Structure 1
């Protein structure tokens, strides 16, 4: 197993839920990261879905020392490079392309590509990866799909994301090929806007207790 796979697995196995965050205001970035870390979710994914995302990643990398920040919604090698320069410790994409696989191979920062079919999982495996995202999880067959794929492709591990909440997280976490789940419910937009960091810490602690 490669060093990058080991690094990625150590990040994903450190907590049952990976917060998937859309940060609209840079000033929310550090207090949000600190609130999640206080609840036990120290690894987070900041998606590149807003104009301030890279700045938010940089702010968290510098201002929340307990947080391991990664970047999501990476669509191109340029996104990959920009996210790494901003301080991202891991890279997540909704899917994968040959260009992204090449960028990942050239980088020291581990890559978690999105997959939603047996063929896509096998392509990632051919690229040398052993851990992938399963996205969008609920829309792509959910936990039953991952259970079915565990026998024919036994050496792959998954972080399912998409449509997962506190209610169905354990359906995934109970599977031996799932290392964690990704979810946005731990940081609801209204709580972030209101600056309810104590409330977010409570949600994070609830999620961190899942096994």
Structure 2
């Protein structure tokens, strides 16, 4: 995976989308606002249909799949050919499946022990989740202190006004945020608001 694209993006939209027809318009709206990365989560019944619709459109957006929690989901992501996987947490069995798939992954962690376990498996970029509920910036500083070789993508409960506090940490390469493509805007298919939010995100 091109980590540089995550760094340049800084705010990665984390989206739960259920309509395949909305996949391309959403990606277009984000890119119009300057964001070229998306994390589509497996939190809706039609999530994989949405992912396939975006992949089949050969869109330029970097397509990540989040909330990956089992081996069957990893297999499906492999078949579709997504650009990267994000997990909320990472068990040994899940880590084995991801390693075997050869899909780039940002594995989820919330403790020092989990962070070290991912380092042992060769990962130098991890997701800190659920960021705000797990102690926010202060906890992330504490985890990252003894692990300077590790970079973080904090996600979970991070609002627009919280983003800068995380990005000010040298260990943070980007922040996951659901506010860029919020539920209300998605339900209304308000692509203009999503583009506007994306522009705000790139300016943070």
Indicate the residue corresponding to 1:44 in structure 2.
38
Instruction: Report SS of the residue matched to 1:36.
Output: helix
Indicate the residue corresponding to 2:60 in structure 1.
66
2:183 corresponds to 1:189: yes
Distance in 2, Cα, partners of 1:146 & 1:96: 18
State the TM-score, normalizing by the size of structure 2: 0.95
Number of residue pairs matched by the alignment? 204
Runs of 4+ displaced beyond 3 Å: none
Question: Contact 2:24–2:59 at 8 Å: present in 1 too?
Answer: no
| Matched ranges for 1:27-176 at <5 A | 27-63=21-57, 65-176=59-170
Per-residue deviation, 1:165: 1.1
Question: Contact 2:74–2:101 at 8 Å: present in 1 too?
Answer: no
Unaligned runs of 5+ in 2: none
Distance in 1, Cα, partners of 2:55 & 2:107: 22
Indicate the residue corresponding to 2:195 in structure 1.
201
State the TM-score, normalizing by the size of structure 1: 0.92
Instruction: Report SS of the residue matched to 2:133.
Output: helix
Deviates more, 1:193-202 or 1:177-186: 193-202
2:4 corresponds to 1:14: no
Distance in 2, Cα, partners of 1:188 & 1:135: 19
Per-residue deviation, 1:127: 1.1
Unaligned runs of 5+ in 1: 1-6
Per-residue deviation, 1:124: 0.7
Per-residue deviation, 1:14: 2.7
Per-residue deviation, 1:144: 1.0
Per-residue deviation, 1:8: 4.7
Over the residues paired in the alignment, what is the CA RMSD in angstroms? Answer: 1.2
Distance in 2, Cα, partners of 1:83 & 1:195: 26
Per-residue deviation, 1:108: 2.4
Question: Contact 2:15–2:41 at 8 Å: present in 1 too?
Answer: yes
